[in-house]
Amino acid sequence: MLAAIELVKRYDGPRETVAALAGASLRIEAGELAIVQGPSGSGKTTLLLACGGLLAPDDGRVLVEGQDLYRMTPNERAAFRARTIGVIFQQYHLVPYLTVRENIMAAALAVSDARAGDRAHDLAARFGLGDREEHVPAALSTGERQRTALARAFLNRPRLILADEPTGNLDAANAETVLAALAEFARGGGAVLLVTHDPRAAPYGARTIAMKAGSIGAPA
């Protein structure tokens, strides 16, 4: 499903160039939930963004369902991402002026889907947001916000979900909900790349990938 091959990404610092990714490679198959762990600054988020087609590596390739993301034009990549990849972030990134339902539907802005509204309603119900559909993010709890972001990631029926510390701000119950949903997605044939420090995630992952200084170590 996802193959990252020898990814290199450097950032120019004030004094020196920092290699956020230094030849990182990984492969995640359909039906697999892989957990990436590593200390802060090890390149986890950079890896996730590169795998999502959001950050072009200086070197290396990213293949999703066999297609090289960075050989596509920006518009092709955006369309591909909208159809194929769901993303979840620690900070939720909900649009502040849209309701829960509209935030979930925001994922359909890039695709033409007449049934997006119905699916958004179903997803809201599935993640316990049925009575909060018309609320804006400011009126939600932290857990509700993350569940909204989770529902949004699922809207377009992606085959790959990239999650960056999705449980970082959540209590145990909400973390359980999020992790269970990701695991269920994987069991349904999807692939999940989960970047997290959260030890609660370990039981849900098929394998854990350790990152250090931009490189990926041996599977734990």
Partner 1 sequence: MRILGLVLREIRYRRLSFALGVLSVAVAVGCLAAELAYLGRYGAARQAQIDAKIDATAAAMRRMEDDYRVITKRMGFNVQIFPRAQDLAEFHAAGHGTVFMPEENAEKLARSPVVSVQHILPVLQQKTAWPERGRTVILIGTRAEIPGGAGAAKKPVLDPVPAGAAVVGWCLHRDFGIAQGDRIVFRGRELAVAGRHEERGTADDISLWVNLAEAQEMLGLPGKISAILALSCQCEGAAIEGIRAEVAAILPDTQVIEYSFQAQARREARARAARARSDAVGGEESFAEASRRAWEEFAAALVPVVAAACFAWIGVLALLNVRERRSEIGILRALGVRARDILVIFLAKAGLVGATGALIGYFGGIAALRAASPAGVPLFSAGLFAAAMLGAPVLAMLASWLPALMAARQDPAAVLREE
Identity of the residue numbered 53: G
User: Which of 66, 29, 28 has the alpha carbon at shortest distance from 48?
Assistant: 28
- Tally of CB atoms within 10 A around 145: 23
- The contact set with partner 1 (CB under 8 A) reads 45-46, 49, 52, 54-55, 74-75, 78-83, 87, 89, 91, 93-98, 102, 105-111, 152, 164
Q: 197, 39 in Cβ contact below 8 A?
A: no
Comparing CB distances to partner 1, the nearer of 109 and 125 is 109
What's the min distance (Å) between Cβ of 93 and partner 1? 4
Comparing CB distances to partner 1, the nearer of 41 and 128 is 41
CB-count burial class (<10 Å; 0-12, 13-18, 19+) for 154 = buried
CA 81 to CA 140: how far, in whole Å?
A: 28
What's the min distance (Å) between Cβ of 1 and partner 1? 18
Comparing CB distances to partner 1, the nearer of 86 and 205 is 86
What's the min distance (Å) between Cβ of 89 and partner 1? 6
Comparing CB distances to partner 1, the nearer of 116 and 191 is 116
Comparing CB distances to partner 1, the nearer of 37 and 45 is 45
Radius of gyration of the chain (CA): 17
What's the min distance (Å) between Cβ of 4 and partner 1? 15
Q: Read off the tokens for 34.
A: 């892989």
DSSP-assigned states of every residue in 145-189? HHHHHHHHHHTT--SEEEEESTTTT--HHHHHHHHHHHHHHHHTT
Left (φ > 0), alpha (ψ -120 to 50) or beta: where does 110 sit? alpha
E strand or H helix that includes residue 13: none
CA 60 to CA 29: how far, in whole Å?
A: 19
What's the min distance (Å) between Cβ of 218 and partner 1? 27
Comparing CB distances to partner 1, the nearer of 65 and 176 is 65
What's the min distance (Å) between Cβ of 195 and partner 1? 12
